Amino acid sequence: MSAIPGALAVHHVAYTVPDLDQAVEFFTGVLGARLLYRIGPVEDPEGEWMTRQLGVHREARAWIAMLRLGPVTNLELFEYRSPDQRRVLPRNSDWGGHHLAIAVEDVDAAAAHLRAQPGVEVLGEPQTVTDGGPIHGDRWVYFRTPWGLQLEILRMPPGMPYELDTSDRLYSPSESWR
């Protein structure tokens, strides 16, 4: 099996959102992210750069914001305007479905905070995995942002059962990013 030569780490995750201002406000105001920079519009109305480099319509324009969630996670947000744009978010079960999971100290307190935010939908109630499997003890719940992006909050206690079978460990923050 081969790997990307010289790979160092995951640099960022990125999502396309319908309204960049709304998304930046949500991630900074509700989740505590820090805005690092904004750029745009990025466009190339006379060439094929947008198609060649980004795989989008040649007339697409993009506005971009880079945020920091916690000590190490960079989150890039795009707002595109494009003549052929599809405006439906994939479900988790769809190809391309996705979610971002945020580790918290107390899932129940975080869920209560999210329920109090306008437009946020917490999906069900916090659950604890009790099946004796590799993540036994994990407590989690999904939620949707006001524009429908799915996210998760979770708490994995130290000493998860999967650790018995590997020396590799999931990254786990030691203190709150706030």
pLDDT tens column, 54-84: 999 999 999 999 999 998 899 999 999 999 9
- Average pLDDT of the residues in 95-113: 95
Q: Which residue has the higher pLDDT, 7 or 144?
A: 144
Assigned fold of 98-168: 2,3-Dihydroxybiphenyl 1,2-Dioxygenase; domain 1 (3.10.180)
What pLDDT is stored for residue 65 in this prediction?
98
The helix, strand and coil proportions of the chain, stated in percent and rounded to the nearest 5, come to 15, 30, 55
Q: pLDDT per residue over 157-172, tens digit each? A: 888 999 999 999 888 8
Q: Is the dihedral of CA 30, 27, 112, 177 positive or negative?
A: negative
In CATH terms, the superfamily for domain 8-84 is 2,3-Dihydroxybiphenyl 1,2-Dioxygenase, domain 1 (3.10.180.10)
Q: Do domains 8-84 and 98-168 have the same CATH topology?
A: yes
Strands (E), the chain: 13-16, 34-42, 61-69, 73-81, 100-103, 121-128, 139-144, 150-155
The ranges assigned to domains in the chain are: 8-84, 98-168
Q: How many helices (H) and strands (E) does the chain have?
A: 3, 8
